Amino acid sequence: MPEIYFPNMNIQIGHLDRVAFRLFGLEVYWYGVIITLGIIGGLSLALYLAKKTEQDTELYMDFLMYNLLFAFAGARIYYVIFEIEYYIQNPMEILDLRQGGLAIYGAIIASAITAIVFTRIKKINFFQFADTAVLGLILGQAIGRWGNFVNREAFGDYTESFFAMRLMKEQVTAPVTEKILSNLKIVEGITYIQVHPTFLYESLWNIALLMILFIYYKHKRFEGEIMFLYFIGYGIGRLWIEGLRTDPLLLAFLKIPVSQIVSVSIIIGGVIGVTYGKKWRKI
What is the tens place of the pLDDT at every residue in 79-93? 888 777 778 887 777
Q: Which residues contact 79 (CB under 8 A, 6 or more apart)?
A: 101, 102, 103, 106, 249
The neighbour count for residue 283, using CB atoms within 10 Å, is: 14
Pairing type for strands 185-187 and 190-195 reads antiparallel
Quote the percentage of the chain above a pLDDT of 70. Answer: 95
Helices first, then strands: H and E counts in the chain: 10, 9
CB-based contact 30:150 (threshold 8 Å): yes
Q: Which helix (H) or strand (E) holds 212?
A: helix 198-216
Q: How far apart are CA 51 and CA 47, in angstroms?
A: 6
3-class SS at 129?
helix
Looking at the predicted structure, is the pLDDT value of residue 253 above 80?
no
State the pLDDT at residue 173.
79
List the chain domain ranges.
Answer: 4-218
State the pLDDT at residue 254.
64
State the pLDDT at residue 98.
59
Give the burial class of 97: count Cβ atoms within 10 A of its Cβ; 0-12 exposed, 13-18 middle, 19 or more buried: middle
Quote the percentage of the chain above a pLDDT of 90. Answer: 67
Average pLDDT over residues 213-217: 96
Average pLDDT over residues 150-157: 91
Q: How far apart are CA 267 and CA 238, in angstroms?
A: 10
Closest by alpha carbon to 153, among 16, 55, 2, 25? 16
State the pLDDT at residue 247.
73
State the pLDDT at residue 181.
94
State the pLDDT at residue 283.
43
Least confident of 72-76, 79-83, 108-112, 130-134: 79-83
Average pLDDT over residues 238-243: 92
pLDDT band at 282 (very low <50, low <70, confident <90, very high): very low
State the pLDDT at residue 4.
95
Mean pLDDT of the chain: 90
3-class SS at 22?
strand
Give this prediction's pTM. 0.89
Fill in the DSSP letter of residue 156.
B
Distances (CA, A) of 16 to 144, 156, 165, 167, 171: 17, 20, 14, 11, 11
What is the tens place of the pLDDT at every residue in 37-67? 999 999 999 999 999 999 999 999 999 999 9
Backbone angles phi, psi at 190, to 5 degrees: -100, 130
